[in-house]
């Protein structure tokens, strides 16, 4: 293409991007078209990918297309396989994009649409995508070693241990909060509960098909499974209308929590082919399909965003979770902007498939941009709702009151119009008895998605769309739950195996049951507390998860910054150093506030003390007094856990600073562990393609 | 047109792991045929079992 023509195109993209971002940022009208969000995101991503990511790949990392990757050098036909870049992209994206980017933005919408949207865009292009890309690159240059191994090799044993323990604890908190989200979506909803329950035998059927009936025919089995899933959504509606059947699936939160705990244990002990693997196929297909459908629907419908740019809750008084805009918007939206968990996929798993270093930009940076776009769509789906409706669905009963009338009065007093009739009508349209206090983000996202799908593809099926959206979220939340419990079990077996080698044998059944039991008990405890907490539990667990996830991101960025300095690229170390400094500020401030704040909706100790005082004074209602001792203990535990996270983070930072200081002072302690250059044999073939 | 559909189908099969056994067989022929006492290739069922178990040993899904 002619050079001038390219310049004109990019100037146009820049101009459109600037006007879209300004339109979003400066709009103070009643509503704004969601197309501005899509345009802003597309332009920001295009410019960042074309210029920033390309510059990092070419000038900082210096990717070498002629160098053999681990997939080529260590090819074994099973784990290490040089693979087409689109296929690797698909695997990588399916692995990194879980429920996180859907839930975080929905919760953060309490501050208004603007803070979350800006953080998703800026955080992704300068933080998250850079983290994923450099981690992928460094792991590729180190025989696809995991983040923990790289931390140990390049920074020291403390960094390695910190990454390991950090990962394990995040897994526990993440599973608990995801379990809570599913429970809140199924609570007293026979339709949702029966649909989600049916996904279990469907997955098993698909598992049998792939294992015994037609071994390895993944596509056939998955197609069958997806059709059955759609039937299950419709079937759930039928069950909902059968007076006896519906009673079987009508449960309160606590019973559902116990069921999830029992299910989680069973899924972790069962062989992978029976439940985990087939469920993962189904969830990946449904997830990709729904995300594409949502993008098409938003573009066709061009819905209006009704949430204001900023709400009064930036002062920290928000109903969904307590805490000011800074730092809590940056903690609440982790996945979608920057997520430490991605570094675990980008190291270890993805490099084993990478055919050429040249693909690192597209896979590492590009997949994260796509995930960020999913987060933008979740933000749109949450903010197209009338703000009053959004707050009615997402505010816990402990904040707005148990009765519909009280909740509506409270929400109206904040200046958001909504009526009891409106909420009843909405619940009726969605095929639910009530939508009040369905915290956790999934139900409000489902209402938003149902209204977008309903408007774009026909309004008659709102209830079906709603339950489809619930099924879509539940199925991959349950996949994360199964897979996470399993990984937690392996990690625990590995750690305990150092003390008692027998327990480290991953197939020894007593060890499997014992360690799975411990992992399930860990997240089950937090899930149980979350369910009995009248404030909904999400307000405690989600920030804890955010802090933990950002801590892991900071560890990954520490490793990357350390390697950059040790590779004599001090001048470029800011590409990971800058997001690292920002994360350190955000995580440390948030942790400080969660531990020491006097505000009982923010500080863990303040909340525990407040509850103890009230309990001692006898001013609590009997049902609240009954659970108070457990809640007090939990708040204190959460405070110590937060302290532990921050301590781990700072230990790794100091370790990294020490290693880089030593290097710069000329006393290299830990040499780079990059594998020697070996020319690729595949390059010629690739060029010919 | 037919070529595009074929290409898409190929990518889809690779993405889902539908062709994992064929990839394995191809690798087996290329790398082990020449060796004198090469182990015989696994059956489709046995390969799939190993492949699936191996796939879920580490962290494969994220938040």
Q: What is the pLDDT of residues A538-566, one digit of tens each?
A: 999 999 999 999 999 999 999 999 999 99
Burial A182-194 (b: 16+ CB within 10 A, else e): bbbbbbbbbbbbb
Question: Does the pLDDT value for residue A1 go beyond 70?
Answer: no
A33: which strand partners? A304
CB contact under 8 A, B59 and A344: yes
pLDDT greater than 90 at residue A188: yes
Distance from CA of B58 to the nearest CA of A (A): 6
Number of domains in chain A: 1
Place of tokens 């270093």: A357
pLDDT higher than threshold 60 for residue A685: no
Residue A664 in any domain: the answer is yes
Backbone dihedral region for residue A513 (phi beyond 0: left; psi -120 to 50: alpha; all else: beta) = alpha
Distance between terminal CA atoms of chain B?
38
End-to-end CA distance of chain A: 21
Q: What angle do CA B50, B53, B58 make, to 5 degrees?
A: 130
* pLDDT higher than threshold 60 for residue A686: no
Chain centre distance of CA A423:
29
pLDDT at A598: 96
Dihedral sign (CA B40, B43, B44, B48): negative
Q: How confident is the model at residue A684 (pLDDT cuts 50, 70, 90)?
A: low
Indicate which of A71, A78, A348, A556 best probes the interface with B, i.e. most B CBs within 10 Å of its own CB: A78
Stretch B28-46: mean pLDDT: 78
DSSP assignment of A40-107: HHHHHHHHIIIIIIHHIIIIII---TTBPPHHHHT--SSSS--B-HHHHHHHHHHHH-SSHHHHHHHH
Q: At what angle do helices A538-566 and A622-664 cross, to 10 degrees?
A: 0
DSSP element (H, E) containing A305? strand A304-305
Write the burial class of residue B7 (CB in 10 Å: 0-12 exposed, 13-18 middle, 19+ buried).
exposed
Is the model's pLDDT at A689 over the cut of 50? no
**Confidence (pLDDT) at B36:** 64
Does residue B46 carry a pLDDT above 70?
yes
Nearest to A225 by CA among A190, A200, A194: A200
Stretch A142-160: mean pLDDT, rounded? Answer: 91
In a domain, A601, yes or no: yes
| CA distance, residue B59 to nearest chain A CA (Å) | 6
pLDDT at residue B54 in the model = 79
CB-CB: which of A216, A280, A344 is closest to B44? A216
pLDDT digits (tens, 9 = 90+) for A597-633: 999 999 999 999 999 999 999 999 998 999 999 999 9
Q: Are A442 and A471 in contact (CB under 8 A)?
A: no
Assign A688 a pLDDT band (cuts: 50, 70, 90): very low
Segment A20-30 shows an average pLDDT of: 91
Which residue of chain B is at minimal alpha-carbon distance from A167? B59
Residues β-bridged to residue A67: A679
Residue A552 lies in a domain: yes
Q: Hey, are the CB atoms on B24 and A216 less than 8 Å from each other?
A: no
Query: What confidence tens digit (pLDDT) does each residue in A475-503 have?
Result: 889 988 988 898 899 889 988 998 999 99
Which pLDDT score, from 0 to 100, does residue A165 have?
86
| CA A42 to the chain's CA centroid | 21
CA–CA gap between residue A196 and residue A670 (Å, rounded): 50
Nearest to A174 among B15, B26, B63 (CB): B63
What local confidence, expressed as pLDDT, does residue A392 receive?
Answer: 96
Residue from B39, B18, B36 nearest B28 by CA: B39
Q: Which residues pair with A32 in a beta bridge?
A: A305
Residue A240: inside a domain, yes or no? no
- pLDDT computed for residue A687 by the predictor: 44
pLDDT (0 to 100) of residue A586: 96
Q: What is the mean pLDDT of residues A202-211?
A: 94
Residue A517 domain boundaries: 3-188+251-678
The CA distance from A202 to A198, in Å, is 6
Q: Which residue has the higher pLDDT, A162 or A39?
A: A39
Please give the DSSP secondary-structure letter assigned to residue A77: S
pLDDT for residue A343: 93
In angstroms, the CA A25 to CA A43 distance is: 15
Output the average pLDDT for chain A: 93
Q: What is the distance between the alpha carbons of residues A104 and A111, in angstroms, rounded to a whole number?
A: 12
Can you tell me the mean pLDDT for A168-185?
92
At B35, the pLDDT band (50, 70, 90 cuts) reads: low
Across the interface, do B59 and A345 touch by the CB < 8 Å criterion? yes
Q: What's the average model confidence in pLDDT over A41-59?
A: 98
d(CA A504, CA A658): 34
Chain B residues within 8 A of A91 when measuring between CB atoms: 15
- Backbone phi and psi for residue A33, each to the nearest 5 degrees, phi listed first: -70, 140
Whole-number pLDDT of residue A683: 66
Strand pairing partners for A305? A32
Judge whether A92 lies within some domain: yes
For A100, A114, A117, A447, A551, the CA distances from A105, given in Å and listed in that order, are 9, 11, 8, 15, 19
Report the pLDDT averaged over residues A27-37. Answer: 91
Distance of residue A99 Cα from the nearest chain B Cα, in angstroms: 6
Nearest alpha-carbon partner for A472 in A333, A293, A305 = A293
pLDDT tens, position by position, A637-662: 999 999 999 999 999 999 999 999 99
Mean of pLDDT values over A258-287: 92
Taking the CA of residue A664 and the nearest CA in chain B, the distance in Å comes to 35
Please name which of A91, A338, A166, A334 lies closest in space to residue B60, comparing C-alpha atoms: A91
Q: Which of B14, B44, B53 sits opposite A87 (nearest CB)?
A: B14
% of chain A exceeding 90 in pLDDT? 82
Q: Strand, coil or helix: what is A619?
A: coil
Which of A120-124, A259-263, B23-27 is the least confident region? Answer: B23-27
What average pLDDT score do residues A213-222 get? 92
Question: Which candidate from A77, A98, A218 shows the least CB-CB separation from B18?
Answer: A218
The kind and range of the H/E element at A304 are strand A304-305
Q: What is the pLDDT of residues A430-447, one digit of tens each?
A: 999 999 999 999 999 999
B contacts of A178 (beta carbons < 8 Å): 63
Choose among B27, B53, B62: nearest Cβ to A342.
Answer: B62
In a domain, A198, yes or no: no
Domain for residue A419, yes or no? Answer: yes
Determine the Cα–Cα distance for residues A540 and A632; give it in Å rounded to an integer: 13
Q: Which two three-digit tokens encode residue A301?
A: 């419908």
Whether the CB-CB separation of A43 and A20 falls below 8 Å is answered with yes
The pLDDT-based confidence of B27 (bands split at 50, 70, 90) is confident
**Residue of chain B with shortest Cα separation from A220:** B18
CB proximity list for A525: less than 8 A, separation 6 or greater: A176
Does a structural domain hold residue A229? no
Mean pLDDT of A93-121: 95
CA distances to A179, A279, A285, A415, A434 from A276, in Å: 16, 5, 14, 46, 32
Beta-carbon separation of B12 and A219 below 8 A: yes
Cα distances from A141 to residues A174, A240, A349, A684, in angstroms, run 30, 55, 14, 21
Question: What is the percent of chain A where pLDDT is above 70?
Answer: 99
A569 burial via Cβ count (<10 Å: 0-12, 13-18, 19+): middle
Output the pLDDT for position A662.
92
| Mean pLDDT, range A513-537, rounded to an integer | 94
Output the domain CATH number for residue A470.
Answer: 1.20.1740.10
């Amino acid at each position: 293409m002619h050079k001038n023509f390219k310049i004109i195109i990019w100037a146009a993209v820049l101009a459109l991007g600037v006007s879209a971002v300004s339109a979003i940022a400066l709009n103070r009208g009643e509503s704004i078209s969601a197309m501005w969000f899509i345009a802003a995101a597309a332009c920001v991503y295009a410019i960042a990918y074309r210029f920033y990511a390309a510059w990092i790949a070419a000038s900082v990392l210096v990717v070498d297309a002629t160098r053999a990757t681990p997939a080529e050098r260590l090819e074994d036909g099973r784990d290490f396989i040089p693979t087409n870049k689109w296929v690797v992209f698909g695997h990588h994206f399916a692995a990194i994009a879980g429920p996180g980017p859907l839930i975080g933005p929905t919760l953060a919408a309490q501050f208004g649409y603007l803070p979350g949207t800006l953080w998703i865009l800026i955080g992704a292009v300068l933080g998250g995508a850079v983290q994923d890309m450099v981690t992928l690159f460094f792991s590729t240059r180190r025989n696809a070693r995991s983040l923990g191994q790289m931390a140990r090799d390049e920074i020291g044993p403390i960094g390695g241990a910190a990454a390991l323990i950090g990962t394990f604890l995040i897994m526990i908190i993440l599973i608990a909060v995801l379990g809570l989200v599913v429970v809140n979506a199924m609570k007293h909803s026979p339709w949702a509960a029966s649909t989600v329950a049916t996904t279990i035998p469907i997955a098993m059927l698909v598992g049998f098909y792939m294992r015994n009936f037609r071994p390895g025919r993944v596509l056939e089995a998955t197609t069958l499974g997806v059709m059955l899933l759609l039937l299950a959504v419709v079937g759930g509606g039928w069950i909902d209308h059968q007076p006896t059947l519906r009673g079987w699936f009508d449960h309160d939160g606590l019973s559902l929590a116990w069921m999830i705990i029992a299910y989680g244990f069973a899924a972790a002990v069962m062989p992978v082919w029976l439940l985990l693997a087939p469920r993962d196929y189904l969830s990946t297909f449904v997830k990709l399909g729904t995300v594409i459908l949502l993008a098409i629907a938003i573009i066709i419908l061009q819905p209006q965003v009704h949430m204001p740019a900023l709400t009064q809750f930036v002062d920290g008084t928000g109903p969904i979770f307590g805490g000011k805009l800074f730092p809590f918007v940056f903690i609440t939206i982790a996945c979608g902007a920057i997520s430490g968990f991605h570094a675990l996929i980008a190291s270890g798993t993805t490099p084993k498939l990478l055919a050429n270093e040249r693909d690192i930009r597209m896979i590492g940076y590009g997949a994260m941009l796509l995930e960020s776009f999913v987060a933008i769509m979740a933000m749109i789906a949450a903010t197209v709702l009338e703000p009053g409706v959004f707050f009615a669905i997402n505010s816990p009963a402990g904040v707005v009151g148990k009765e519909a009338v009280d909740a509506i009065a409270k929400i109206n007093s904040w200046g958001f119009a909504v009526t009891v009739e409106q909420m009843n009508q909405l619940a009726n349209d969605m095929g639910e008895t009530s939508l009040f206090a369905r915290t956790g983000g999934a139900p409000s996202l489902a209402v938003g998605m149902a209204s977008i799908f309903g408007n774009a593809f026909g309004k008659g099926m709102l209830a079906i769309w709603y339950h489809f959206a619930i099924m879509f979220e539940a199925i991959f939340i349950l996949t994360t739950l199964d897979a996470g419990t399993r990984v937690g079990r392996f990690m625990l077996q590995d750690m305990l195996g150092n003390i008692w080698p027998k327990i480290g044998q991953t197939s020894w059944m007593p060890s499997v049951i014992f360690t799975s039991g411990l992992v399930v008990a860990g997240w089950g405890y937090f899930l149980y507390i979350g369910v009995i907490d009248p404030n909904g539990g999400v307000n405690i667990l989600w920030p804890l998860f955010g802090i933990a996830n950002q801590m892991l991101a900071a560890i990954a960025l520490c490793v990357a910054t350390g390697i950059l300095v040790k590779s004599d690229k001090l001048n470029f170390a800011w590409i990971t150093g800058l997001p690292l400094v920002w994360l350190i500020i955000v995580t440390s401030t948030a942790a400080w506030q969660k531990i020491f704040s006097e505000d009982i909706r923010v500080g863990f100790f303040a909340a525990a003390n407040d509850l103890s005082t009230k309990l001692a004074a006898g001013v609590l209602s009997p049902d609240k007094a009954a659970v108070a001792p457990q809640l007090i203990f939990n708040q204190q535990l959460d405070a110590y856990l937060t302290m532990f996270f921050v301590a781990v983070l700072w230990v790794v930072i100091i370790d990294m600073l020490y290693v880089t200081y030593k290097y710069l002072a000329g006393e290299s302690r830990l040499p780079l562990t990059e594998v020697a250059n070996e020319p690729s044999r595949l390059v010629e073939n690739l060029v010919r393609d | 047109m037919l070529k595009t559909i074929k290409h898409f189908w190929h990518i889809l099969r690779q993405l889902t792991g539908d062709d994992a056994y064929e990839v394995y067989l191809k690798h087996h022929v290329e790398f082990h045929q020449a060796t004198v006492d090469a182990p015989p290739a696994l059956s489709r069922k046995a390969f799939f079992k190993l492949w699936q178990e191996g796939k879920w040993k580490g962290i494969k899904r994220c938040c």
